[in-house]
Protein backbone atom coordinates (compact mmCIF):
# COMPACT_ATOMS: atom_id res chain seq x y z
CA UNK A 1 0.00 0.00 0.00
CA UNK A 2 1.42 3.40 -1.02
CA UNK A 3 2.13 6.22 1.40
CA UNK A 4 0.29 9.51 0.83
CA UNK A 5 3.08 12.08 0.46
CA UNK A 6 0.82 15.06 1.31
CA UNK A 7 1.58 16.76 4.61
CA UNK A 8 -1.51 17.15 6.79
CA UNK A 9 -1.75 18.95 10.11
CA UNK A 10 -4.65 16.74 11.14
CA UNK A 11 -6.62 13.76 9.85
CA UNK A 12 -10.24 13.57 10.95
CA UNK A 13 -11.89 10.15 10.96
CA UNK A 14 -15.64 10.50 10.47
CA UNK A 15 -17.72 12.84 8.33
CA UNK A 16 -20.82 13.26 10.47
CA UNK A 17 -21.73 16.64 11.99
CA UNK A 18 -18.87 16.40 14.54
CA UNK A 19 -16.09 15.61 12.06
CA UNK A 20 -17.32 18.06 9.43
CA UNK A 21 -17.56 20.87 11.98
CA UNK A 22 -14.00 20.10 13.13
CA UNK A 23 -12.85 20.15 9.49
CA UNK A 24 -14.38 23.58 8.93
CA UNK A 25 -12.76 25.04 12.03
CA UNK A 26 -9.34 23.53 11.34
CA UNK A 27 -9.44 24.85 7.77
CA UNK A 28 -10.48 28.29 9.01
CA UNK A 29 -7.38 28.27 11.23
CA UNK A 30 -5.34 27.50 8.09
CA UNK A 31 -4.61 23.96 9.19
CA UNK A 32 -4.36 21.40 6.41
CA UNK A 33 -7.08 18.95 7.39
CA UNK A 34 -7.95 15.67 5.68
CA UNK A 35 -11.34 14.22 6.61
CA UNK A 36 -12.06 10.60 5.73
CA UNK A 37 -15.58 9.25 5.96
CA UNK A 38 -17.15 5.83 5.50
CA UNK A 39 -20.54 7.40 4.76
CA UNK A 40 -22.63 5.91 7.58
CA UNK A 41 -23.52 9.01 9.58
CA UNK A 42 -26.46 8.55 11.96
CA UNK A 43 -27.54 11.98 10.79
CA UNK A 44 -28.61 10.41 7.48
CA UNK A 45 -31.49 8.85 9.44
CA UNK A 46 -32.89 12.18 10.62
CA UNK A 47 -36.16 12.74 8.73
CA UNK A 48 -36.37 16.36 9.87
CA UNK A 49 -34.39 18.02 12.63
CA UNK A 50 -36.13 20.91 14.36
CA UNK A 51 -33.51 21.67 17.00
CA UNK A 52 -30.64 22.90 14.84
CA UNK A 53 -29.99 26.62 15.32
CA UNK A 54 -30.79 28.62 12.17
CA UNK A 55 -33.04 25.90 10.71
CA UNK A 56 -36.64 25.48 11.82
CA UNK A 57 -36.57 22.16 9.93
CA UNK A 58 -33.86 20.42 7.97
CA UNK A 59 -33.33 16.81 6.91
CA UNK A 60 -30.25 15.00 8.14
CA UNK A 61 -29.06 14.44 4.58
CA UNK A 62 -29.52 18.15 3.82
CA UNK A 63 -27.61 19.12 6.94
CA UNK A 64 -24.72 16.80 6.07
CA UNK A 65 -24.55 18.24 2.54
CA UNK A 66 -24.35 21.78 3.86
CA UNK A 67 -21.75 20.89 6.47
CA UNK A 68 -19.63 19.07 3.87
CA UNK A 69 -19.91 21.97 1.40
CA UNK A 70 -18.90 24.46 4.08
CA UNK A 71 -15.86 22.40 5.10
CA UNK A 72 -14.71 22.08 1.48
CA UNK A 73 -15.31 25.78 0.77
CA UNK A 74 -13.06 26.61 3.72
CA UNK A 75 -10.32 24.39 2.27
CA UNK A 76 -10.70 21.06 4.06
CA UNK A 77 -9.98 17.93 2.03
CA UNK A 78 -12.87 15.49 2.26
CA UNK A 79 -12.53 11.92 1.06
CA UNK A 80 -14.94 8.95 1.03
CA UNK A 81 -12.68 6.34 2.58
CA UNK A 82 -12.59 3.98 5.52
CA UNK A 83 -9.78 4.17 8.07
CA UNK A 84 -8.79 0.77 9.40
CA UNK A 85 -5.51 0.95 11.31
CA UNK A 86 -3.93 3.71 13.35
CA UNK A 87 -0.30 3.52 14.47
CA UNK A 88 1.99 5.93 16.28
CA UNK A 89 5.24 6.41 14.35
CA UNK A 90 7.53 8.69 16.34
CA UNK A 91 5.93 12.12 16.49
CA UNK A 92 3.29 11.23 13.88
CA UNK A 93 0.35 8.93 13.37
CA UNK A 94 0.07 6.65 10.35
CA UNK A 95 -3.49 5.89 9.32
CA UNK A 96 -4.38 3.09 6.94
CA UNK A 97 -7.06 4.20 4.49
CA UNK A 98 -8.77 2.32 1.68
CA UNK A 99 -5.87 2.58 -0.79
CA UNK A 100 -3.10 4.50 0.96
CA UNK A 101 -1.47 5.31 4.25
CA UNK A 102 -1.81 8.92 5.38
CA UNK A 103 0.41 10.52 8.01
CA UNK A 104 -0.22 13.47 10.34
CA UNK A 105 0.90 14.71 13.77
CA UNK A 106 -2.72 14.75 14.97
CA UNK A 107 -5.75 12.52 14.41
CA UNK A 108 -9.24 13.48 15.50
CA UNK A 109 -11.64 10.58 15.95
CA UNK A 110 -15.27 11.55 15.27
CA UNK A 111 -16.68 8.13 14.42
CA UNK A 112 -19.97 8.53 16.27
CA UNK A 113 -21.82 5.58 17.71
CA UNK A 114 -24.10 2.78 16.58
CA UNK A 115 -27.60 2.45 18.00
CA UNK A 116 -28.65 -0.78 19.67
CA UNK A 117 -32.11 -0.96 18.11
CA UNK A 118 -35.02 -2.82 19.64
CA UNK A 119 -36.13 -5.72 17.46
CA UNK A 120 -39.40 -4.35 16.07
CA UNK A 121 -40.74 -5.12 12.61
CA UNK A 122 -40.88 -2.01 10.40
CA UNK A 123 -38.59 -0.01 12.68
CA UNK A 124 -36.62 1.61 9.84
CA UNK A 125 -39.82 2.77 8.14
CA UNK A 126 -41.11 4.14 11.44
CA UNK A 127 -37.84 6.05 11.91
CA UNK A 128 -38.09 7.49 8.41
CA UNK A 129 -41.62 8.72 9.18
CA UNK A 130 -40.41 10.20 12.50
CA UNK A 131 -42.78 7.91 14.42
CA UNK A 132 -39.90 6.36 16.36
CA UNK A 133 -37.40 8.83 17.74
CA UNK A 134 -34.35 8.45 19.95
CA UNK A 135 -33.70 11.70 21.70
CA UNK A 136 -35.78 13.84 24.08
CA UNK A 137 -33.64 16.90 23.36
CA UNK A 138 -34.29 16.62 19.60
CA UNK A 139 -37.84 15.35 19.63
CA UNK A 140 -39.79 15.93 22.85
CA UNK A 141 -41.05 19.33 21.76
CA UNK A 142 -42.72 17.86 18.64
CA UNK A 143 -44.44 15.29 20.88
CA UNK A 144 -45.95 17.88 23.21
CA UNK A 145 -49.51 16.86 24.24
CA UNK A 146 -49.32 13.68 22.15
CA UNK A 147 -49.73 10.17 23.51
CA UNK A 148 -46.36 8.45 23.40
CA UNK A 149 -44.87 5.08 24.31
CA UNK A 150 -41.37 4.83 25.74
CA UNK A 151 -39.17 1.83 24.97
CA UNK A 152 -36.13 1.24 27.12
CA UNK A 153 -34.44 -1.14 29.44
CA UNK A 154 -34.28 -0.37 33.12
CA UNK A 155 -31.46 -2.89 33.43
CA UNK A 156 -29.10 -0.33 31.84
CA UNK A 157 -30.14 2.44 34.20
CA UNK A 158 -30.69 0.50 37.43
CA UNK A 159 -28.69 -2.72 37.34
CA UNK A 160 -30.03 -5.29 39.77
CA UNK A 161 -27.78 -5.90 42.75
CA UNK A 162 -26.04 -9.23 42.39
CA UNK A 163 -27.30 -11.82 44.89
Ligand X SMILES: Cc1cc2nc3c(=O)[nH]c(=O)nc-3n(C[C@H](O)[C@H](O)[C@H](O)COP(=O)(O)OP(=O)(O)OC[C@H]3O[C@@H](n4cnc5c(N)ncnc54)[C@H](O)[C@@H]3O)c2cc1C
Options 4, 12, 14, 103; binder of ligand X; rule CB under 6 A: 14
Instruction: Return the DSSP state at 26.
Output: H
Options 11, 12, 13, 104; binder of ligand X; rule CB under 6 A: 13
Options 9, 40, 59, 77; binder of ligand X; rule CB under 6 A: 40
Q: Are 108 and 10 in contact (CB under 8 A)?
A: yes
Report if residue 33 touches ligand X, rule: CB under 6 A: no
* Closest by CA position to 37, among listed 14, 60, 3: 14
Contacts (CB under 6 A) with ligand X, residues 69-128: 82-83, 110-112, 115, 127
- 12 three-class SS: strand
**Torsions phi, psi for 10 (to 5 deg):** -155, 140
Binding mask 138-157 for ligand X (x = CB under 6 A): x-------------------
Q: Where are the alpha helices (DSSP H) in 29-153?
A: 60-74, 123-128, 136-139
Provide the binding-site residues for ligand X, judged by CB under 6 A: 13-19, 36-43, 45-46, 49, 51, 82-83, 110-112, 115, 127, 134-135, 138
Amino acid sequence: MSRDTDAYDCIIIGGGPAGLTAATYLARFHRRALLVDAGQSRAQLIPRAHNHPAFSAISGVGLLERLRMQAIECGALVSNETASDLEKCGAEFALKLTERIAVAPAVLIATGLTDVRPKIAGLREAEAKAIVRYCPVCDAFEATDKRIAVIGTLADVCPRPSS
